C-alpha cells in the first residue's frame, strides 16, 4: 500500500505508520519543487500542518497544492483528514470523483469540549463584564442584579451527540448541568451523561427549556441555518449560546439581533460563516460576546490522536484489500 502525505507528516508520524503496517510505502509531498509520481498511490493522509495559516475559506498554497495532487492522482480511492468534519469544498470535490473521505472523529473531542465548557463558564461567571471593568480599572463586584445563577439548576441543550457532544456532556455533569442531546435518531438510549435525547424534529420543543444552547454538530443539509430567528425566539431570555461546530449552523444576522436586544445572555463563538472574521464585523465589539478564532480543537496532542486514528484505519483497509 502506498500513502501520499506531507513531508512534515512523514517525518513526524512515519515510524508509527510503518509500525502499524509493515511494508507500507510513504510518498511525502514537499511545499515546493517537483511533485511525486502518484500512479499506484491508493490513499492520502491530510494532516493539519498542510492547513496551518489558512482557513476553510482561504486555503494555504501548500494545502491547495496537496489537494490538487490528490484530485489528479489516478488511483487514490481513500483520503483520511485531520478534522472531524469533512464538509470543506476540497473534500466535496474529492467525493465527486468517487474518493471516500474519512474524518478523524474523536481526535479533537477532548480539546473542543474543554473549549466549549470554558466558554460556557466564562459567560456564566460574567467574565466579559469583569474584564471590561478591569480595562476601566473599575472595582465592580458581580453581586446583586448581575449575580450569576447556579449552574446546578440549569439545562444544557447540546446539538450533536457524537464524540464532541458526549465529552461536553461529561464535563458539564461535573458542574451539575443537566444535558439534553439533539441528534438524527432518538430511538437508541441516550449516551452516557445525557438525561435525554431527541431527534432534530424535536428541537423546537426543547429550546424553551434550555439555559444553554451548545452547538457541536456537523454542518449538513439538516443543520445548515438550523438556529435561525425562530429558533432563537423560542429560547428563554438570558440563554447562553456556545458554538464550536460550524458557522453555517447559525443564521448570524438573527444571532446578532438576539444579542443586541439582550434576549440572549451572551455567546461564545468559535466559528463564523466568514473566516477570518472581518475587522468590521459587529461581533467583535458586542459586550456579551466572546470571539474565538476557530481554535477550539487546538492542542499539542491533537496530531498524535489523528495519527493513531489513521493507523487504525490503515490496518483495517489493508485487511480488506
Q: Which residue out of 18, 129, 275, 304 is catalytically annotated?
A: 275
246 catalytic residue (yes or no): yes
**What is the maximum span of the chain, computed from C-alpha positions, in angstroms?**
70
3-state secondary structure of 62: helix
Q: Which residue out of 62, 246, 251, 305 is catalytically annotated?
A: 246
Of 142, 156, 250, 290, the residue nearest 210 (C-alpha): 156
String of DSSP letters for 293-317: -S-TT--TTHHHHHHHHHHHHHHHH
Q: Which residue out of 13, 126, 294, 305 is catalytically annotated?
A: 294
What count of Cα atoms within 13 Å lies in the side-chain half-sphere of residue 257? 12
13 catalytic residue (yes or no): no
Q: Are strands 43-45 and 2-6 parallel, antiparallel or unpaired?
A: parallel
263 catalytic residue (yes or no): no
Q: Which residues pair with 186 in a beta bridge?
A: none
Report CA 152 to chain centroid distance, whole Å.
Answer: 26
Separation CA 116–CA 269 (nearest Å): 9
Separation CA 93–CA 95 (nearest Å): 5
Residue 256 Cα distances to 110, 204, 283, 285, angstroms: 29, 20, 7, 11
Both ends of the chain: CA-CA distance in Å?
Answer: 9
Sheet holding 289-291, edge to edge: 196-199, 178-183, 155-159, 212-215, 239-243, 264-269, 289-291
- Confirm if 84 and 108 have CB atoms less than 8 A apart: yes
Residues tagged active-site: 246, 275, 294
Amino acid at each position: 500500500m502506498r500513502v501520499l502525505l506531507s513531508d512534515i507528516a512523514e517525518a513526524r508520524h512515519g515510524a508509527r505508520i510503518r509500525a502499524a503496517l509493515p511494508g507500507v510505502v510513504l510518498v511525502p509531498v514537499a511545499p515546493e519543487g517537483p511533485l511525486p509520481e502518484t500512479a499506484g498511490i491508493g490513499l492520502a493522509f491530510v494532516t493539519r500542518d498542510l492547513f496551518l495559516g489558512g482557513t476553510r475559506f482561504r486555503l494555504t498554497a501548500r494545502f491547495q497544492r496537496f489537494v490538487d495532487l490528490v484530485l489528479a492522482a489516478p488511483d487514490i480511492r481513500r483520503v483520511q483528514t485531520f478534522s472531524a468534519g469533512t464538509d470543506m469544498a476540497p473534500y466535496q470535490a474529492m467525493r465527486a470523483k468517487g474518493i471516500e473521505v474519512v474524518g478523524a472523529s474523536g481526535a479533537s473531542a477532548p480539546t473542543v469540549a474543554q473549549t466549549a465548557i470554558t466558554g460556557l463558564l466564562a459567560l456564566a461567571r460574567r467574565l466579559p463584564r469583569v474584564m471590561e471593568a478591569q480595562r476601566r480599572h473599575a472595582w465592580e463586584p458581580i453581586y446583586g442584579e448581575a449575580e450569576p445563577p447556579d449552574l446546578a439548576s440549569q439545562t444544557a441543550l447540546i446539538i450533536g451527540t457524537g464524540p464532541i457532544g458526549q465529552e461536553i456532556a461529561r464535563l458539564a455533569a461535573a458542574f451539575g448541568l443537566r444535558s439534553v442531546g439533539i441528534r438524527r435518531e432518538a430511538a437508541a438510549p441516550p449516551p452516557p451523561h445525557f438525561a435525554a435525547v431527541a431527534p432534530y424534529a424535536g428541537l423546537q420543543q426543547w429550546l424553551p427549556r434550555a439555559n444553554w444552547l451548545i452547538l457541536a454538530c456537523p454542518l449538513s443539509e439538516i443543520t445548515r441555518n438550523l438556529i435561525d430567528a425562530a429558533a432563537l425566539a423560542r429560547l428563554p431570555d438570558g440563554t447562553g449560546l456556545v458554538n464550536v461546530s460550524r458557522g453555517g449552523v447559525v443564521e448570524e444576522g438573527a444571532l446578532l439581533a438576539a444579542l443586541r436586544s439582550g434576549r440572549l445572555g451572551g455567546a461564545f463563538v468559535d466559528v463564523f460563516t466568514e473566516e477570518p472574521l472581518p475587522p468590521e464585523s459587529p461581533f467583535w465589539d458586542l459586550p456579551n460576546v466572546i470571539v474565538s478564532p476557530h481554535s477550539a480543537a487546538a492542542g499539542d496532542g491533537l496530531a498524535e490522536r489523528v495519527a493513531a486514528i489513521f493507523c487504525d484505519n490503515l490496518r483495517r483497509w489493508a485487511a480488506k484489500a
